[in-house]
Amino acid sequence: MSLEVIILAAGKGTRMRSDLPKVLHPLAGKPMLVHAVEQAQGLLPKCVYIIVGHHADQVEATVKPLGAECVPQDQQLGTGHAVAQAMPKVDPDAIVLVLYGDVPLVPTSLMQQLVNQAGDQSLAILTVTLEDAAGYGRIVRDHNGQIQAIVEHKDANAQQLKIKEINTGILAVKASLLNSWLPRIESNNAQGEIYLTDIVAMAVADGVGIMHLQPDHPQQTQGVNDRLQLADLERWYQRQHADQLLRDGVQLADPTRFDLRGELTVGRDIYIDINVIIEGQVHLEDGVHIGPNCHIKDAHIGMGTKILANSVIDQAQVAQNCSIGPFARLRPGTILHEHAKVGNFVETKNTTVGRASKVNHFTYLGDTKVGKNVNIGAGTITCNYDGVNKFKTTIGDGAFIGSNSAIVAPVNIGVDATIGAGSTITKDVADEHLAIARGKQRNIAFWAKPIKI
pLDDT tens figures, 164-186? 999 999 999 999 999 999 999 98
Return the ∠ at Cα 339 (arms to 395 and 404), rounded to 5°. 40
Strand partners, 377: none
145/431: higher pLDDT: 431
- State yes or no: cis peptide before 410, omega within 30 of 0: yes
Residue 159 reports pLDDT greater than 80: yes
Residue 283 annotated among the catalytic residues of the structure: no
The pLDDT value recorded for residue 154 is: 87
Report the pLDDT value the prediction gives residue 452, as an integer from 0 to 100: 87
- In this prediction the pTM is 0.90
List of domains in the chain:
3-221 (3.90.550.10), 227-435 (2.160.10.10)
User: Of the listed 55, 289, 337, 361, which one is catalytic?
Assistant: 361
Predicted pLDDT at 76? 86
Q: Say what percent of the chain tops pLDDT 70.
A: 100
For the ranges 84-98, 117-131, 144-158, 192-206, the one whose mean pLDDT is highest: 84-98
Average pLDDT over the chain, rounded to an integer:
95
Q: Say if residue 138 is exposed, middle or buried (CB neighbours under 10 Å; 0-12, 13-18, 19+).
A: buried
Q: What residues contact 420, with CB distance under 8 A and at least 6 apart?
A: 402, 405, 434, 435, 436, 437, 438
